[in-house]
Amino acid sequence: MTDPIADLIIRIKNAQNSQQKELIVPFSNFKMAILEVIKKYDLLSDVEIKTGKKFKSISIKFGSTPISHIKIISKPGRKYYVKADQIPRPLRGLGLVILSTPAGVISGNEARKRKIGGELICEAW
């Protein structure tokens, strides 16, 4: 697998389409940071780390409101960087954009408030 973040986004999309209540994905700190931002905006019900015998995993529980749209923006062949004043506002500000910045993985609204840019990871609503 060349892009674990794209794999995470596709797994979330597929789980939502098949109306699953829970999803388990391999653990990484970057994935966990992205999922925490999505959870903060109430698109996910719960995100927790599960420890197995050999590997850690992340358990994702979906809430009552499904994620109707989630799309990866930066890809391994094309990274998409923006300045603070160029951060997109999906659904006229109602959607969520996730950025990887020098201050960590944060939402587009928080990046605008802090006036920092970074790499656009994905958008969701």
Q: Report pLDDT digits (tens) over 74-111.
A: 999 999 999 999 999 999 989 999 999 999 999 999 99
Q: Report the percent of the chain where pLDDT is more than 90.
A: 94
Average confidence (pLDDT) over 29-35: 98
C-alpha pair distances (Å), 104 with each of 1, 4, 67, 100: 24, 18, 23, 6
pLDDT range class, residue 64, cuts 50, 70, 90:
confident
What CATH architecture is 4-62? 2-Layer Sandwich (3.30)
Torsion sign, CA atoms 16, 21, 26, 32? positive
**What does the domain layout of the chain look like in residue ranges?**
4-62, 70-124
- pLDDT score recorded for residue 11: 97
- pLDDT score recorded for residue 2: 87
Predicted confidence (pLDDT) at residue 1 exceeds the cutoff of 80: no
- pLDDT score recorded for residue 41: 93
pLDDT range class, residue 31, cuts 50, 70, 90:
very high
- pLDDT score recorded for residue 65: 85
Given CATH 3.30.1490.10, say whether it is the number of domain 70-124. Answer: yes
Torsion sign, CA atoms 123, 37, 34, 54? negative
pTM reported for the whole predicted model: 0.94
